[in-house]
Structures are given as C-alpha cells and as structure tokens.
Amino acid sequence: MTSSRKNKTLLIDEEAASALELLKDGLLLPATSLMGLKESQSVLKSGLINGKTFPFPFILAPSGKRNLEVLKSLEVGEELSIIFNDKPFATLIVDEVFPVDPSERIKHIYGTDDISHPGVAATINRLGTLGVCGEYTLCNESSNKIKESIKNAQQAIGAKHTTSLVMAANPLHRAHERLIRHSLEDTDLLVIFLLKSYTESNLDYETRKETLDFFINNFLTKNHVLVVPLDNSYIFGGYNEIIIDAIVAKNYATNRLVIGRNHAGLGMFYDCNSDKSIIDKVVGIDIEISIASEYVYCDKCTTLVSKNTCPHGQHHQISYNSNSILELLELGLLPPTILVRKEISAHILSKLFPKRFKNLEKLYYDILPIEGLLEERTEKDFYLELMKLYQTTSLT
C-alpha cells in the first residue's frame, strides 16, 4: 500500500480514526490536539488540561511492525500521511516522536493491565511503543451532522434544557425504558447517545436503533427524544468512561448527563476515609451529572421498582442484566415480558434468526388462532402471537 503522495504513511484502525475525528470536531475539549511526552506527563500527574478534567493523555501510537519502522524514521517538520481503510485519512506535520509503554497506557485507561479484562484484551494489541504528535488535517473534513441534528431538535421545540444518556441498549430492556422515562421527567429534550461497538459480540447498531425508535415512537411524547450514534472506541472504556461521556455530552451542547446506578464506570474509591465516586473527579466541565436509581422487578410489589424504595429483600428482586437477557435471545428464547417488551423481543429474534422456520404459514395454521383468511405474516408477527399463548393463564 502506498499513498498517492510521497509522504511516509502511518496505518490506523477505525477506533483511532474515530478518536481523531472526535478531537477535530471539538468534542473532546479541553483536549484540542495530539499530545507529546511533556503534555502527556502533565495530564497523568494532574488529570487536568487548562484546569479542566481529562483522564488520560490523548495520543496516537498505532501498533504494527511497519508503523514502528516509519515512526522511528520520522523527523520534526516532516509531513506524514495517515491511512485508514486503504485511503488517505489525514496528514500530520511531525512535532515529536516519543516512547509509549502500552502496559502503562492500558492501566491509565482501564485501571488494570490484566489481560483477562475484555477491554484490555481488545486494546493492548492495537497500541504501539512509539507515539507521534503534531498538527493534523483530515482529508475529508465535513460538518458534524450529529451536532446539527441536536441543534435542530432543540430549536424545533424551543428546548432550554437538554439531558443526555449514553447507552448500548444491548438489548433494550424494561429498566432501560424506566431510565429513559426518568430522564425525561424534568428536561425539554433527551439525547440518547447509542454506542456503536467495534466487537461482533453485540447486537448490531441498526437492530438496537430500531428497538429504541419503536419504544420512543410508540410510548413516549413526540419530538422530545433524539437517538444519535456514538462510536464506542477504547477511550470510552474503563473507569474513566463516565468522564469522557460527560466531556462529549457537554461538547454536544447538553446540560445534564444521567448515569444508571449500575453503570460499569461508577466504581467507588476511597479518599481520606470518605466515599467518593469517579464523578467527584470531574473538574471544570460545566455539566450536571446525576445518578439514577437501580431498577429491579420485585415479585412482592409485582412491578418494576427502584431498589431505593422497595422494602423487600434481594431474594424477591429480579435484576436486569443485559448480558444474561442477550444470552436468552441468542439461544432463540423469548425473554419474559417483565424483562423485555414483547415487540422488542420479537424484532430482535427475527433479526438474529432470519428464515428460522421451514413453513411459517403451517405453524400459524396449526398452533395459533386465525381470524378469517390466513394472511401473509412475518416471523416477527409469529413471535408476538406466540407470546400471547405464553401469557394464557387459564390452564396454569
């Protein structure tokens, strides 16, 4: 692979490209540029850039033997071509090439370098031992459509207050629905940043977006919720995830970030014998961060409740574990409707198992009540009708 120009070339992956675009769009302020060794050390020591929180150095250090050879050969002032997906992505004027310890970098992001940690395992192999910094220019820089869509949504309803949620909705379950409703109670506009994952162990983005759109369009007030994509790159990993979420949400012109009580980044740490969360480390970022209750289904209350208000013990409460619910769906099982809305389960199963049934029409005729002539039905329709049979109680 060669660049169309005679510059030396550096190869990057999708995560690095996404992070460079976020920085160039001003969505990682107070970070404004790639960092060199001195600035990186300053951020590691203080956790600040110009008096504002930033959790770790923003650097470019791609792995690979060819990249290493190129980085070793660079000189200050040299122009470097950055290649992504075999196409020119950016050009960079070299200020500095400096050493990077991948293991230490991993610890700064995830709080551990234990290879059994899924984030560590996914990130360690893409980090090199040399970083490069300098002013860079994107080859196809364009206006940020997400910024525009949020601004248009705010203007359409005259929103004075905008709240944000960052979620995977993998899959969208009842606790997610309650969290969304809770977040809508005292805001004009709710922006849901739906994470786009780089792994294949998740429901694809389009399926998750469709389920969110179904819930919003059918069960919430119109024009007050906006779903936009957010690339889930490595910088959103680890215990600093909430800090980066807050920075991006603020730079997308939202006033508040709502965090679920069971958010993976909401670990507690101790300082001078007092409990503090990672939220207490956010300095100078003008956004309110609120923590919502953890929701469970209580078989005594027979409804979805907050753990803060339910008087019954844990042995009466069903938690909403996304991985476990997804496992049911991936096995082809319909989760109980107390966990996932039946229409959403039906949609996901029809996507996970397309053309699953040999003779769908015959199944309809044999086991489902049919009114009049048999019409053409989809697999999604079949799951919905089947769920109704599960809910029949006269023989149970």
- pLDDT attached to residue 382: 87
Asked if 195 and 212 sit in the same domain, the reply is yes
CB 63, CB 131: distance < 8 Å: no
Looking at the domain assignment, is residue 272 inside a domain? yes
Looking at the domain assignment, is residue 108 inside a domain? yes
Tokens 């200020």 appear where? 95
Closest C-alpha to 383, from 353, 355, 354, 342 = 342
Looking at the domain assignment, is residue 349 inside a domain? yes
Asked if 250 and 373 sit in the same domain, the reply is no
What CA–CA distance (Å, rounded) separates 90 from 388? 55
Looking at the domain assignment, is residue 159 inside a domain? yes
CB 26, CB 111: distance < 8 Å: no
- pLDDT attached to residue 233: 84
Structural domain harbouring 283: 145-296
Residue-wise pLDDT for 288-310, tens only, equals 999 888 899 999 999 999 988 99
Question: What CATH number is given to the structural domain containing 281?
Answer: 3.40.50.620
Looking at the domain assignment, is residue 324 inside a domain? no
Which of 138, 156, 177 terminates a domain? The answer is 138
pTM, entire model: 0.88
Burial of 372 (0-12, 13-18, 19+ CB in 10 A): exposed
Asked if 151 and 291 sit in the same domain, the reply is yes
Which of 138, 156, 172 terminates a domain? The answer is 138
Q: Which residues contact 113 (CB under 8 A, 6 or more apart)?
A: 103, 104, 106, 107, 120, 124
Residue-wise pLDDT for 127-143, tens only, equals 999 999 999 999 987 77
CA dihedral (386, 389, 390, 394) in degrees, to 10, reads 180
Which residue positions in the chain have pLDDT lower than 50? 1-5, 268-275, 396
What CA–CA distance (Å, rounded) separates 129 from 143? 33
How many domains are contained in the chain? 3
Token output for 162? 């905008």
Asked if 113 and 165 sit in the same domain, the reply is no
